[in-house]
Amino acid sequence: MKKSTNLALATAVTGLLALAGTAATTATAVAAEAKEKCFGVAKAGKNDCATKTSSCAGTSKVDGAKDAFIMVPKGLCDRLAGGSTTPKSS
């Protein structure tokens, strides 16, 4: 009797772990889709990626560089002063 109880418990735990993994993967995918690049609003040294004028993330030299971006929730960029979803020439 004890062997079947252990097997049932192990099966239930395995199912819960699989379900939790699926939920976490789905949440991550939804979160990744809900972001967009927002150009022209990053503070100096806070950009998320390389630009024409800086070699890597965190190296922009001025606030609001038109080619530097940060990732923001989708739809927010258009509401930020100076924000654009496309890069502009500096």
15 CA to centre of own chain: 28
Number of residues written out for the chain: 90
Tokens of 79: 């509401």
Q: Is the pLDDT of residue 26 over 60?
A: no
Is 1 or 72 the better-scoring residue by pLDDT? 72
Q: What is the pLDDT of residues 8-21, one digit of tens each?
A: 666 666 766 666 66
What pLDDT was estimated at residue 20?
66
What is d(CA 77, CA 85) in angstroms, rounded to the nearest whole number?
7
Q: Model confidence over 49-69: pLDDT tens digits?
A: 877 666 778 788 888 888 888
- Residue 78 has a pLDDT of 92
In this prediction, residue 88 carries a pLDDT of 79
Give the Cβ contact number of residue 51 at 10 Å: 22
3-state secondary structure 35-87: EEEEECCCCCCCCCCCCCCCCCCCCCCCCCCCCCEEEEECCCHHHCCCCECCC
Mean pLDDT value of segment 26-40: 76
